[in-house]
Amino acid sequence: MRTFLIDTDTASDDAVAIIMALSAPDVKVCGLTIVAGNVGLDQATRNALLTAEVCGVEVPVFKGAAAPLTRAHEHAHWFHGRDGLSDRNYPEAKHKPESEHAVEAISRLCRAEPGLTLVTLGPLTNIALALARDPGLIGSIGRCVVMGGAPCCEGNVTPAAEYNIWVDPEAARMVFRSGLPIEMVGWQVSRGPSVLSEEEIAGVLALGTEKARFAIECNGRAKEAYFTQTGETGLSLADPTAMAVALDRTIGTEWSRHFVEVECASELTRGMTIVDRLNVAHDANNAAVWKRALDANVKADICWTIDAARFKAQMIEALK
């Protein structure tokens, strides 16, 4: 049995990713730690509790950071709805969050479950704070699958940046420089063949389960917003693609290992994930710019593409 710890700013695609983990027969989810992102902290917490209830699973939920490390919180209501779940007026969950703060819970759970898989679906604020509080917990984390970034491609919140990294770039920089065993699953893998077509959406609804209905209905606003954003039809699910890779790394079909730096200072490229795909940092003419990363010898595994058919099959199995 594998152990997952999921850090999430629970909105519509996060909910589907959480369902995938809670439905996996060989995975124990030891906790959901909540961070402000798509929606505010309280709403994200309510959404996480509701998602677990839809799955019929009790899992501890811990409230964490209500804002980025140094910046004001900037939500994504326009994409997910004001409640993050397409404003369908879902009822409150019966269960309540734990009293322990998410940052403390991350440290405790990682040390209690050495080798666990940490999956991050939102801004990296909680993780950065946990590492600052307890740097040694890195040794307890077997994998850190990060849904975030736009490696060598356009972003979804600015031309340069993906939302999770853009919201709190200082936290993302800390995490990428930390030495965590990061597997970065960027926004690009949720596009193209990974997008659910209208026929595939109908097929999910035809499963007739509460999980399937919830997964599609709570993403109704996101489906509309994706079309507005890209001109592409269908349902793009970024967080579930990362969860698919967390559940089965071989779903990632193209990987390479590189230095990654996160831009924090520029207004134009704030949150850009700068991936040294050609390893030019080793060129003596360029190395000074990357000196800190080179000195730390910190790299991340970058997932460039996934097997979209296997991703969809895995997700559908979880929704049955």
Residues 213-247: pLDDT tens digits?
Answer: 999 999 999 999 999 999 999 999 999 999 999 99
pLDDT the model gives residue 143:
97
pLDDT at residue 293 greater than cutoff 60 = no
pLDDT at 280: 74
Q: In the prediction, which pLDDT does 289 show?
A: 60
pTM above 0.75, yes or no: yes
pLDDT at res. 60: 98
pLDDT value of residue 287 = 59
Q: Domain count of the chain?
A: 1
Please tell me which residue, 269 or 292, carries the higher pLDDT value: 269
Residue 152 has pLDDT above 90, yes or no: no
Q: What CATH number is given to the structural domain containing 307?
A: 3.90.245.10
Domain of 18 in residue numbering reads as 2-319
Whole-number average pLDDT of the chain: 94
- Over residues 104-115, the pLDDT tens digits come to 999 999 999 999
Q: What percent of the chain has pLDDT over 70?
A: 95
- What is the 3-state secondary structure of the chain? CEEEEEEECCCHHHHHHHHHHHHCCCEEEEEEEECCCCCCHHHHHHHHHHHHHHHCCCCCEEECCCCCCCCCCCCCHHHHCCCCCCCCCCCCCCCCCCCCCHHHHHHHHHHHCCCEEEEECCCCHHHHHHHHHCHHHHHHEEEEEEECCCCCCCCCCCCCCCHHHHHCHHHHHHHHCCCCCEEEECHHHHCHHHCECHHHHHHHHCCCCHHHHHHHHCCHHHHHHHHHHHCCCCECCHHHHHHHHHHCHHHEEEEEEECEEECCCCCCCCCCEEECCCCHHHCCCCHHHHHHHHHHCCCEEEEEEECHHHHHHHHHHHHC
Answer whether residue 252 shows pLDDT above 90: yes
pLDDT per residue as tens digits for the range 5-46: 999 999 999 999 999 999 999 999 999 999 999 999 999 999
For residue 251, what pLDDT is reported?
A: 98
Query: Would you state the pLDDT for residue 288?
Result: 62
Q: Taking residues 121-131, report their average pLDDT.
A: 98
